[in-house]
């Protein structure tokens, strides 16, 4: 399954790290600030996990998500009420939105503990963030600045996650979306997945269809 495949990418590189090179730990939440795009299968998995939280926790999550959605509604490239990012969005509109939510904490981030309330259902981005991303000898994204302290750039490359293998995980998610009849290529954010009216409609057919194969 795609989420486990993302875990495997991380685990393989983590094994190559030397003592002191990895700062990632429970309670470190630097990468949980700033909304980002997630696929619909990830969104539905996250919704199920969030809605299974105890009521008082769930209410707090929903309130934070609703605030994030309301604050960014003017620049959301799509209908913020439905919660789906426009698949045809232009790069400029996407950049403006993600810049606007750059300092928004993820609604399922618990503070002050710094823990993810839906850790087992977190998206692939959360599972692979922290190490660099590379395509061959080219660094696509740098590692988190807390990891690999004082290491030369080559060390980032040696321990980077392979962009092609991560793209294969994304493709597996797209295949999963297609198999479940979800809109092709559609994406959302954690906040919009929790509040968007589109998701109730997307979940309903699966309930009527009866048993389906295990989801990530
Ligand atoms: S889903 Fe969890 S791990 Fe991912 S950004 Fe939100 S709080 Fe952090």
| Segments in 74-196 forming alpha helices (H) | 91-100, 124-128, 153-158, 163-179, 190-195
pLDDT at 210: 41
Q: How far apart are the first and last CA of the chain?
A: 6
Residue 98 lies in a domain: yes
Residue 214 lies in a domain: no
- The predicted-structure confidence for 78-128, as pLDDT tens digits, reads as follows 999 999 999 889 999 999 999 999 999 999 999 999 999 999 999 999 999
**Structural domains in the chain (count):** 1
Domain range for residue 91?
A: 2-207
CA–CA distances in Å: residue 212 to residues 41, 63, 100: 13, 31, 38
Average pLDDT, the chain: 91
Residues with CB under 6 A from ligand 1: 32, 106, 108-109, 116, 118, 122, 126, 190
Residue 216 lies in a domain: no
- Measured in Å, residue 209 CA sits from the centre of ligand 1 at 30
Residue 213 lies in a domain: no
The phi-psi region of residue 111 (left if phi > 0; otherwise alpha if psi is between -120 and 50; otherwise beta) is beta
Residue 212 lies in a domain: no
- The predicted-structure confidence for 29-40, as pLDDT tens digits, reads as follows 999 999 999 999
**Quick check: 3 pLDDT over 70?**
yes
> What is the pLDDT confidence band of residue 70, given thresholds at 50, 70 and 90?
very high
Nearest partner of 199 among 40, 39, 38, 35, judged by Cα: 40
């Amino acid at each position: 399954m795609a989420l486990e495949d993302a875990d495997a990418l991380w685990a393989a590189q983590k094994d190559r790290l030397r003592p002191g090179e990895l700062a990632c730990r429970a309670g470190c939440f630097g990468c949980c600030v700033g909304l980002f795009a997630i696929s619909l299968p990830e969104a539905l998995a996250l919704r199920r996990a969030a809605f299974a939280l105890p009521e008082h926790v769930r209410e707090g999550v929903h309130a934070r998500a609703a605030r994030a959605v309301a604050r960014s509604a003017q620049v959301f490239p799509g209908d913020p009420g439905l919660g789906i990012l426009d698949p045809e969005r232009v790069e400029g509109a996407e950049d403006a939105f993600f810049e606007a939510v750059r300092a928004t904490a993820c609604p399922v981030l618990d503070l002050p503990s710094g823990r993810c309330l839906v850790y087992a259902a977190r998206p692939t981005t959360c599972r692979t963030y922290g190490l660099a991303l590379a395509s061959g000898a080219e660094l696509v994204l740098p590692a988190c600045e807390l990891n690999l302290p004082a290491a030369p750039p080559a060390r980032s490359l040696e321990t980077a996650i392979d962009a092609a293998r991560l793209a294969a995980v994304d493709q597996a998610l797209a295949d999963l979306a297609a198999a479940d009849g979800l809109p092709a290529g559609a994406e959302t954010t954690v906040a919009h997945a929790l509040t968007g009216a589109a998701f109730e409609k997307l979940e309903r057919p699966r309930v009527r269809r009866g048993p389906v194969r295990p989801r990530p």
